[in-house]
Structure 1
């Protein structure tokens, strides 16, 4: 008789839990950390109970974000007890350790090597050739059909309300060939929508003097327009052009050159521009370019080139020194600009920001009243612009497919148009999508109705 075959017992790998807070840039950092840990043999845990170590990737942009980060650390400590803190608030290790002296380690923003080493120290990896595999494109915390593509770290601006440069440093751009290689891998792995992010996408490559690299036999500069043109050449395995969406775009003059790429279909006709305000005196206090009149002219020109372009922005109300006249100026500017998507925030002091020392603090009740007025104004603009899309046929991408209706079996889905970035803009709610549809499917729909922020339709 043959000797019995002894099965190889694969050792249990340490498991890592992750809580990721803050902006998409933090989410990309979390994905990179988890990808490295997965390549080192770690498994991922979906809950506190199953994790050997919990990572909390913090946000420290606003005081309210810091409070949320501290609450998340406290919850992880209470539920698990073995916690490593990283991210933007990692620069305030003394604050974290004063409140949670038992945390295992604290590292700063984008300190990938340090946080991975901290995990190794807390729960050493168990090397195993059978399980040390990472999926193509790395691990993702977003759905498979869309991915964030971070092109740089840091920022050269010194806006008076912002502490990002003190946390993440000055602009450091990635090599253009590295960016394009990552984008190509993401699309090959199933990404249908690339969301380009950074602190200042328009400034990409300024720090490297727009250094050129060889890419597929040609020289390509580290420059926003070159990058956008190359991303527009990508195709999925089915030969479909993925959507390429630009976020955090400052309105520098060269932004004008990406609008024709949108008109040609190489880029998604969408720009996320952080205007923050319109009144010249407030922009000056914020230490931002005060050229709001010229911007209105450029927006009109962009729309003449690409009529379907959607422009989203965010604005701060109640900034120190903002008068009623300044706020009314902003409302009038918005009426003329007719931005498609707008987010507003009440000014909030951030420890370390120069704006905290400015005179003319706006009372909280005035901030709230102005916030309500700007949201009412922008909701009315949005409603009118969306109503104008009723009856049109628009391309969408599905984010989620619902269950069949118990009575008639019809299936609905939540999708987005090209004017909608995931999790921050509106949705297109679909009826009767039929069987077989799945997240990531792209097709045309007939728009049947609209409200203040969302569209409703049916497959065309």
Structure 2
């Protein structure tokens, strides 16, 4: 179970928590946990000790749905009092959950915090009634200003919006999470400041479409530290770039205004890192996918970005074997990869998702052809990645340490987001702690990871 260590007290009601899915779902879990702590509940790390268990589900693809169903089944078996929320908590998925687990206490959709908390209140009322905001609540002192976090102390996800206005044919997220709803920029920056004050050294900006931030409110003007900022990605990047920590942009669609954040990267304000889900390169397949953004001139724009900011790292995800994909379409994707020279790439074989309109497209690609194309894709990208990482040998880089054990330290450079990208290994070096930032020399590389040695202050003397 995903939980945070707490000093349990037998007088308090205890809630177990299982958090599944993407970073956006993780932020939902953090918000629910924070409110539970504010109301005096303890968070239990075990099924046996919990008075009720909350399972935050993921419903993006079939394998994620099965993992969620298995987690619910395990919680029912081990505890029996289960509240379900998240992306599987709506529509036919919700009905399937109830059918498979008739004793489940409550089922609600993503970011439906009120329903989850209401269900917890109903089955295990808080020992101490919540007081009005005007009154002093001693329980608030037990919760850090940045709230409960499920990530390590030195990095945190910063969710800037909910939902998505696009209708990509392979995706059901708008059906689960609704249309785009942007948070006020002042609220986002205030949360970021609290995180930094608590020791966070890396902010990972997330949403369904970071480039579209503010579209729904027509880029409404807001004030941050007395300065006027529009509710848009560029202004947010400017404000976050003043906080003195790593700022990493995820889920960026290649709209023209993305060009405006590249100079901020070149100036060292935010990390020279873009996570752009290109998904494909064939115009015909992109049209079948109903992908947004100006995809036609992407290669020219990547070249222009790198001219402004040579250190820029681009990561992306792609789908092979999409319905209607021909060998010509796939070869176009491989040729595009060779030209784009992306640094970090993930690839998925297309799989139908219940409710996605792509299911109705003709000419589905056979599984054996999908597998063969996936292997060719990965071989191509591994070669590109290996060459780009080999070129880093001898460079000096800053590394943020994530883990330390008797074998050495493991960290990440600016090119590596947690969980999804590569790592930097400092074999045999243990004189450091998670969250430390070290200057290192890159000494080795393979297809995905780097090896390094720390640069000591003495090394630069004289």
Verify the 8 A CA contact 1:320 1:358 in the aligned structure 2. Answer: yes
Residue 122 of structure 1, CA deviation? 1.4
Q: Distance in 1 between matches of 2:428 and 2:193?
A: 34
Aligned residue in 2 for 1:5: none
Q: How many residues align?
A: 437
Q: Distance in 1 between matches of 2:139 and 2:42?
A: 9
Q: Any residues of structure 2 matched to 1:20-419 within 5 Å, and which? A: 20-91=19-90, 92-127=93-128, 131=139, 133-234=142-243, 241-289=244-292, 291-403=294-406, 412-419=408-415
Aligned residue in 2 for 1:6: none
TM-score (normalised: structure 2):
0.93
Aligned residue in 2 for 1:445: 440
Secondary structure of the 1:30 match is helix
Verify the 8 A CA contact 1:20 1:27 in the aligned structure 2. Answer: yes
Q: Distance in 2 between matches of 1:140 and 1:426?
A: 23
Residue 80 of structure 1, CA deviation? 1.0
Residue 288 of structure 1, CA deviation? 1.3
Greater displacement, 86-95 / 25-34: 86-95
Verify the 8 A CA contact 1:432 1:458 in the aligned structure 2. Answer: no
Aligned residue in 1 for 2:132: none
Q: CA RMSD of the aligned region, Å?
A: 1.3
Residue 292 of structure 1, CA deviation? 3.9
Q: Distance in 1 between matches of 2:50 and 2:227?
A: 47
Secondary structure of the 2:179 match is coil
Q: Distance in 2 between matches of 1:181 and 1:106?
A: 32
Q: Distance in 1 between matches of 2:391 and 2:332?
A: 26
Verify the 8 A CA contact 1:387 1:449 in the aligned structure 2. Answer: yes
Aligned residue in 2 for 1:456: 451
Task: Name structure 2 gaps, 5 residues minimum.
Answer: 1-8, 130-136, 456-462
Verify the 8 A CA contact 1:61 1:88 in the aligned structure 2. Answer: yes
Residue 94 of structure 1, CA deviation? 1.2
TM-score (normalised: structure 1):
0.93
Secondary structure of the 1:90 match is coil
Secondary structure of the 1:360 match is coil
Q: Distance in 2 between matches of 1:188 and 1:344?
A: 37
Aligned residue in 2 for 1:237: none
Q: Distance in 1 between matches of 2:414 and 2:206?
A: 17
Residue 51 of structure 1, CA deviation? 1.1
Secondary structure of the 1:89 match is coil
1:327-351: CA deviations, max 9, x gaps? 1110010010000000000101011
410, 416, 419: which one pairs with 1:420? 416
Structure 1 residues 107 and 194: CA distance shift in structure 2, 3 A: same
Verify the 8 A CA contact 1:280 1:290 in the aligned structure 2. Answer: no
The 4+ residue runs of structure 1 with deviation greater than 6 A are none
Residue 93 of structure 1, CA deviation? 2.0
Q: Distance in 2 between matches of 1:145 and 1:372?
A: 36
Secondary structure of the 2:88 match is helix
Aligned residue in 2 for 1:3: none
Structure 1 residues 290 and 114: CA distance shift in structure 2, 3 A: closer
Q: Distance in 1 between matches of 2:178 and 2:148?
A: 26
1:369-413: CA deviations, max 9, x gaps? 11111111111111100000001101110001112x6xxxxxx10
Residue 416 of structure 1, CA deviation? 0.2
Q: Distance in 1 between matches of 2:344 and 2:49?
A: 40
Q: Distance in 2 between matches of 1:312 and 1:357?
A: 30
Secondary structure of the 1:44 match is strand
Residue 286 of structure 1, CA deviation? 0.3
Aligned residue in 2 for 1:409: none
Verify the 8 A CA contact 1:180 1:231 in the aligned structure 2. Answer: yes
Q: Distance in 1 between matches of 2:60 and 2:294?
A: 26
Aligned residue in 2 for 1:433: 429
Structure 1 residues 76 and 166: CA distance shift in structure 2, 3 A: same
Greater displacement, 394-403 / 418-427: 394-403
Residue 177 of structure 1, CA deviation? 0.4
Verify the 8 A CA contact 2:277 2:318 in the aligned structure 1. Answer: yes
Q: Distance in 1 between matches of 2:238 and 2:171?
A: 31
1:237-282: CA deviations, max 9, x gaps? xxxx210000000010110010000000000110000100001110
